[in-house]
C-alpha cells in the first residue's frame, strides 16, 4: 500500500515579522521544515510532497537534491486549497499523511501510529487536549465530548461560544485514504468566515460517506506545537532543549544547570561527563568518559576523548573535516580550534591560542597567545607565547613540521614551508624561513644596539 506524505509549507508567517519564510526559521540549529522532513524520512514514504508558497525559491533551494517533490500554492487560499495543489503528485490508492512544516517536533512514532490507525480505510486525526485551545480547530464529537464519535472539526474563528470551551483540538496532522481524500478535496467550499478552503471540512465529508473517523492522541503538547511568532519559536526552543537535558541527565551526564545548555545537533556522552552552564554543541559532538566542559564553550563537530578538559570560553569548530581533542588534553580558556585541529594525548592549548589544520603529538604545549596553522607538531614540543606559523604566502598554504622535543621561544615567526628538526631550539624573537637543524639553537634576529644621547620626540608646545 502506497504511503504519500504531504508537508504544508506555504505560509508567510506574518507574525514572525521576517523576510525569511516561516518554515526556514531555525530551531536547535535546523530549519523548522528540516525537522519535519527528517522525521518524515523515517516513515519511508513512497513520495514526499512539499507545498511551498511565500519564499518558495528559498525553501526549495534549501532542499535541492533531497528527493522531495515540490508544488506551489499561489495564492494561499487555505489549508484545503494547499493540499489540492498536491493532488496530481499523489498515488490513486493507499494512505496520504498530511503534516505542517511549522510543527517541528512531531515524533516519528506518533506519525507511525496515525498511519496505522488510518490503514488506508479510516480518516485518522491527530489530536491533543490543551489547557488553552485558543486559535486551534476544535474536535466535535457526538454524545460523550471525550469518547464520542468524531463528527467534525470547527475552526476557532467559526466556533460558537460553547464550542470554544472544547479543549480537544486538531493538531493539523491527519492520515487519510488517498482515493477518498482526492474526492473530498475536489468538493471543498469556502463558505466560512475566512472565505478559505479548509482541509478540516473533509471530516464532515468522511462522516457523510460513512468512512470511519478516528482520533489518535499525541504523546504530549510539545510535539504538536506550531510556530507563528518569534516568542513561540523561543518557547519551543527551550522546551526542546529541556527534553535533551533531561535525557542527558537520565544517562548520567552532570549538567550544572539543565536550563542553560543548547544542543543543535547530536551530543553523545560517555560516563561521568560534566558540563557547566551556557555551553552550545553543534553538529556531531562526542564526549568520552570523564570529560569536563567548563562554562560558555561553543563546540561543533568535534570528538573529545577520555579525561580531557575544555576550559571556559573555548570555541571549537570542526566544520566538515572535524576536530579532535585527545585523551587527557587540556584546552583553553579562550582557545580556538578550527577545522582539522587534531590534539594528541596530554596536549595543552592555552588562552588565546588558535589551531587550524594541525596535528599536535603527545605532550605538546602551546600555552599562550599563539597560532598554529597547517603544522605537524611532534611530542613534547613547547611552543612559545606570541609565536606563529606563517603558512600562507598570499596564494597557497604551506606546512610547518616541528620534530619531537622542539622548543620555540616567544614571539617567533616560522615561515612555511619549514622543518625544525627534533630537539632544536628557536631563539625568542626569531623569524625563521629555512629549515632548522636537529639539536641546535637557531636564532634569526637583528643585533641589539643602544644609542647614547638619543632622546624621545616631544610634542611642540602651542
Q: How far is CA 428 from CA 138, 352, 441, in A?
A: 76, 19, 11
Task: Please list, residue by residue across 198-217, b when 16 or more beta carbons sit within 10 angstroms of its beta carbon and e when fewer do.
Answer: bbbbbbbbbbeeebebbbbe
> For 163-219, where are the E strands, in sequence order?
168-177, 213-217
Q: What is the length of the chain?
A: 462
Cell match 525559491: residue?
A: 57
Catalytic-role residue among 91, 315, 368, 398 = 368
Burial class (CB in 10 A: 0-12, 13-18, 19+), 86: buried
- Residues forming a β-bridge with 175: 97, 124
In whole angstroms, give the CA distance from residue 199 to residue 192: 12
- Asked if residues 164 and 193 have their Cβ atoms less than 8 Å apart, the reply is no
Cell of 185: 478535496
Cell of 345: 594525548
- Asked if residues 118 and 175 have their Cβ atoms less than 8 Å apart, the reply is yes
Write down the H helix ranges in 140-294: 178-186, 202-208, 230-250
H or E segment and range at residue 79 = helix 79-86
Please spell the DSSP secondary structure of 254-271, one letter per residue: EES-TTSEEEEEEEEE-T
How far from chain centre, in Å, is Cα 69? 24
Is residue 368 part of the annotated active site? The answer reads yes
- Asked if residues 276 and 256 have their Cβ atoms less than 8 Å apart, the reply is yes
Coil, helix or strand for 83?
Answer: helix
Pairing of strands 150-154, 95-100: unpaired
Active-site residues, by number, are 368
Amino acid at each position: 500500500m502506497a504511503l504519500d506524505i504531504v508537508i504544508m509549507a506555504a505560509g508567510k508567517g506574518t507574525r514572525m515579522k521576517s523576510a525569511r519564510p516561516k518554515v526556514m526559521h531555525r530551531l536547535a540549529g535546523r530549519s523548522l521544515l528540516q525537522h519535519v522532513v527528517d522525521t518524515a524520512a523515517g516513515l519511508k514514504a513512497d513520495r514526499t510532497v512539499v507545498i511551498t508558497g511565500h519564499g518558495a525559491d528559498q525553501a526549495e533551494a534549501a532542499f535541492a537534491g533531497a528527493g522531495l517533490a515540490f508544488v506551489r500554492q499561489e495564492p494561499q487560499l487555505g489549508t484545503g486549497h494547499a493540499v489540492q495543489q498536491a493532488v496530481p503528485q499523489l498515488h490513486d490508492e493507499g494512505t496520504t499523511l498530511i503534516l505542517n512544516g511549522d510543527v517541528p517536533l512531531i515524533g516519528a512514532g506518533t506519525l507511525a501510529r496515525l498511519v496505522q490507525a488510518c490503514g488506508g480505510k479510516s480518516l485518522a486525526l491527530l489530536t491533543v487536549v490543551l489547557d488553552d485551545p485558543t486559535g486551534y480547530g476544535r474536535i466535535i464529537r457526538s454524545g460523550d465530548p471525550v469518547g464520542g464519535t468524531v463528527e467534525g472539526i470547527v475552526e476557532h474563528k467559526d466556533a460558537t461560544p460553547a464550542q470554544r470551551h472544547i479543549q480537544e483540538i486538531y493538531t493539523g496532522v491527519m492520515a487519510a485514504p488517498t482515493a477518498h481524500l482526492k474526492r473530498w478535496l475536489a468538493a471543498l467550499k469556502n463558505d466560512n468566515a475566512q472565505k478559505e478552503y479548509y482541509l478540516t471540512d473533509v471530516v464532515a465529508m468522511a462522516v457523510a460517506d460513512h468512512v470511519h473517523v478516528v482520533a489518535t492522541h499525541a504523546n504530549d503538547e510539545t510535539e504538536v506545537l506550531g510556530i507563528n511568532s518569534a516568542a513561540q519559536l523561543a518557547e519551543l526552543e527551550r522546551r526542546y532543549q529541556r527534553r535533551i537535558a533531561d535525557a542527558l541527565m537520565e544517562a548520567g551526564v552532570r549538567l550544572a544547570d539543565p536550563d542553560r545548555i543548547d544542543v543543535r545537533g547530536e551530543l553523545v556522552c560517555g560516563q561521568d561527563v560534566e558540563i557547566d552552564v551556557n555551553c552550545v554543541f553543534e553538529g556531531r559532538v562526542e564526549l568520552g568518559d570523564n570529560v569536563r566542559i567548563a562554562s560558555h564553550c561553543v563546540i561543533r563537530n568535534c570528538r573529545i576523548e577520555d579525561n580531557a578538559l575544555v576550559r571556559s570560553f573555548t570555541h571549537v569548530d570542526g566544520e566538515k573535516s572535524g576536530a579532535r581533542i585527545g585523551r587527557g588534553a587540556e584546552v583553553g580558556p579562550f582557545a580556538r580550534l578550527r577545522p582539522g585541529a587534531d590534539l594528541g594525548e596530554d596536549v595543552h592549548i592555552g588562552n588565546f591560542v588558535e589551531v587550524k589544520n594541525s596535528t599536535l603529538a603527545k605532550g605538546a604545549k602551546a600555552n599562550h597567545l599563539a597560532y598554529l596553522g597547517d603544522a605537524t607538531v611532534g611530542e613534547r614540543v613547547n611552543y612559545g607565547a606570541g609565536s606563529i606559523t606563517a603558512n600562507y604566502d598570499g596564494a597557497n598554504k604551506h606546512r610547518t613540521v616541528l620534530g619531537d622535543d622542539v622548543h620555540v621561544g616567544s614571539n617567533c615567526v616560522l615561515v612555511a614551508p619549514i622543518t625544525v628538526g627534533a630537539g632544536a631550539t628557536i631563539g625568542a624573537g626569531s623569524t625563521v624561513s629555512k629549515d632548522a637543524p636537529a639539536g641546535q639553537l637557531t636564532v634569526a634576529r637583528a643585533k641589539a644596539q643602544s644609542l647614547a644621547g638619543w632622546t624621545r620626540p616631544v610634542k611642540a608646545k602651542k
